[in-house]
Amino acid sequence: MSVRSSTVNGLFSTKAESLLAPHPNIFYGQYPIKKQKKARWFETAMQRINKLSANVFKPQGKIHKEMLGRVHTVHKIIETLSDAALDKWIIDIKSQLHRKGLKDELICRAFAIIKEVAKRELNMPHYDSQLTGGWIMMQGKIAEMQTGEGKTLTATLAAGCGAMANMPVHVVTVNDYLVERDAELMRPVYERLGLTVGCIADGMEDEDRQHAYRCDITYCTSKQLTFDYLRDRMTLKKFTTELDLKISSLYSRTPVQDKLLLRGLSFAVVDEVDSVFIDEARTPLILSSKSENNQQEELHREAIWLARQLDNDIYYLLESRSKQVTLTEKGENYLKELTATMQGLWTGERRSKILVQQALSALHCYEKDVNYFV
């Protein structure tokens, strides 16, 4: 399992201390996503040196042992609390994570709270191996866990921390069955933490998808998440800057944000990471769509409507052999009256005349299934 999180500078964090809580619409904007940035060779070299020196002076095993000690210390206090007192702790940790971000101390406290909640709601407290796995994921790294070690429960640690820090969280797995099963199994834990849970399944309507993505934690497959993201990118293609989105939200009756499915990409917990990042990544995902001809279709509908108002042959002349229609003087005058308050192409007399003549020709000179097929 693995965690991926976007940070303020647009890069995935490698340390829990630097995983600051991204507040959508405040710090990260209307639709936060990871910006692609090519690291320079010396930056990459320095990162590797820092990692090596950190492991030499403070091995990971020692770090994990210290983390477990801090979690157990807090948990001993929490397990004696009443439900009402535990609720106050939950409210406090959410406030702290919201304001200060994912600091090591706060992560340990959150882990202890999530462990106690899982114990009370599911009778399944997290084992040390699961706490260690959750901690590794919070570093932006991959935690390898064997079958039966409780990956589903482990995911609640990272997902719960991210969601309590006010980040939209996606828990990504490999198929719809696991999406629904894992979400329902862990729902009591999340709801006890005051978090909402949604599921994305194949065949869902857009309104249902929006509702699921607006939950604090959303379970989905990588395929569903990717395609929905691509659909959002197509919706956003006309908005090149963050300022464009903000302006749209202010003046538009139907802001583009209302059409988006996701709230952006801030924090993801990935199950079966080898399958998602390696096997499935080899297959390109291509999103096709119908061309945007809404305005053209509306124009044709209006032309047909106008043609039907000219229902008397005093308004036009029909040449059946050449299938040509010509408006008479009365027809042209009546058309001017009909289009007097219309906008767009109908403000031009010549264009209006041509369009209506074509519509009359379609109505009176061509027969469906004889001259054309639909």
Tens digit of each residue's pLDDT (9 = 90 or more) over 234-268: 888 776 666 666 666 666 666 777 888 998 888 99
Q: How confident is the model at residue 28 (pLDDT cuts 50, 70, 90)?
A: low
**What's the confidence (pLDDT) of residue 196?**
96
What is the arithmetic mean of pLDDT over 192-212?
A: 94
What is the arithmetic mean of pLDDT over 90-101?
A: 93
**What's the confidence (pLDDT) of residue 324?**
80
- CB contact at 8 A, 348 and 317: no
The pLDDT of residue 164 is above 50: yes
Phi (first) and psi of residue 12, to 5 degrees: -70, 135
Report if pTM > 0.75.
no
Residue 288 forms part of a structural domain: no
Domain count for the chain: 2
Q: What is the mean pLDDT of the chain?
A: 82
Sign of torsion over alpha carbons 46, 52, 55, 60? positive
Beta bridge mates, 198: 218
Q: Which among 212, 259, 204, 199 has a CA at the least distance from the CA of 231?
A: 259
**What's the confidence (pLDDT) of residue 36?**
58
Check whether residue 51 and residue 150 sit in a common domain. yes
Check whether residue 265 and residue 302 sit in a common domain. no
- CB contact at 8 A, 20 and 266: no
Check whether residue 214 and residue 324 sit in a common domain. no
**What's the confidence (pLDDT) of residue 75?**
96
- Distance, in Å, from the CA atom of 219 to the CA atom of 236, rounded to the nearest integer, reads 24
Q: Which two tokens stand for residue 271?
A: 């199950």
Check whether residue 200 and residue 317 sit in a common domain. no
The pLDDT of residue 367 is above 70: yes
Going by C-beta distance under 8 Å and a sequence separation of 6 or more, which residues neighbour residue 145? 1, 129, 133, 151, 154
Check whether residue 102 and residue 123 sit in a common domain. yes
Long-range contacts of 347-356 (CB under 8 A, 24+ apart): 352/306, 353/327, 355/299, 355/303, 355/306, 356/303, 356/306, 356/307, 356/310, 356/327
Residue 372 forms part of a structural domain: no
Q: Torsion over CA of 131, 135, 137 and 138, rounded to 10 degrees?
A: 140
Check whether residue 276 and residue 300 sit in a common domain. no
Percentage of the chain with pLDDT > 90? 40
**What's the confidence (pLDDT) of residue 311?**
77
268 membership: H or E segment, kind and range: strand 267-270
Going by C-beta distance under 8 Å and a sequence separation of 6 or more, which residues neighbour residue 213? 168, 198, 200, 228, 261, 262, 263
118 membership: H or E segment, kind and range: helix 104-122
- Distance, in Å, from the CA atom of 362 to the CA atom of 372, rounded to the nearest integer, reads 10
- CATH number for the domain including 18? 3.40.50.300
Check whether residue 158 and residue 300 sit in a common domain. no
The more confidently predicted of residues 132 and 54 is: 132
Percentage of the chain with pLDDT > 70? 76
Check whether residue 123 and residue 184 sit in a common domain. yes
Residue 113 forms part of a structural domain: yes
Q: Which two tokens stand for residue 122?
A: 């599911």
- Distance, in Å, from the CA atom of 56 to the CA atom of 50, rounded to the nearest integer, reads 10
Residue 349 forms part of a structural domain: yes
The pLDDT of residue 221 is above 60: yes
The pLDDT of residue 159 is above 60: yes
Check whether residue 308 and residue 274 sit in a common domain. no
The CA-based angle 166-167-168, given to 5 degrees, is: 120
Domain of residue 318 covers 294-364
Q: Which two tokens stand for residue 328?
A: 């008479």
Q: Which two tokens stand for residue 33?
A: 């996503």
**What's the confidence (pLDDT) of residue 237?**
78
**What's the confidence (pLDDT) of residue 41?**
65
- Distance, in Å, from the CA atom of 268 to the CA atom of 24, rounded to the nearest integer, reads 15
The more confidently predicted of residues 11 and 327 is: 327
Check whether residue 108 and residue 198 sit in a common domain. yes
What is the tally of helices (H) and strands (E) in the chain?
Answer: 14, 7
The pLDDT of residue 4 is above 80: no
153 burial type by CB count under 10 A (0-12 exposed, 13-18 middle, 19+ buried): buried
Residue 370 forms part of a structural domain: no
Phi (first) and psi of residue 317, to 5 degrees: -115, 135
Q: How confident is the model at residue 163 (pLDDT cuts 50, 70, 90)?
A: very high
**What's the confidence (pLDDT) of residue 11?**
26
Check whether residue 111 and residue 258 sit in a common domain. yes
- CB contact at 8 A, 90 and 81: no
The pLDDT of residue 14 is above 70: no
- Distance, in Å, from the CA atom of 61 to the CA atom of 67, rounded to the nearest integer, reads 10
Residue 268 forms part of a structural domain: yes
Check whether residue 80 and residue 186 sit in a common domain. yes
The pLDDT of residue 9 is above 80: no
**What's the confidence (pLDDT) of residue 22?**
42
**What's the confidence (pLDDT) of residue 132?**
95
The per-residue pLDDT for range 270-311, each reduced to its tens digit, is 998 888 888 777 777 776 655 555 677 888 889 899 988 887
- CB contact at 8 A, 304 and 359: yes
What is the arithmetic mean of pLDDT over 347-368?
A: 84
The per-residue pLDDT for range 29-60, each reduced to its tens digit, is 667 776 656 666 666 776 666 665 555 555 67
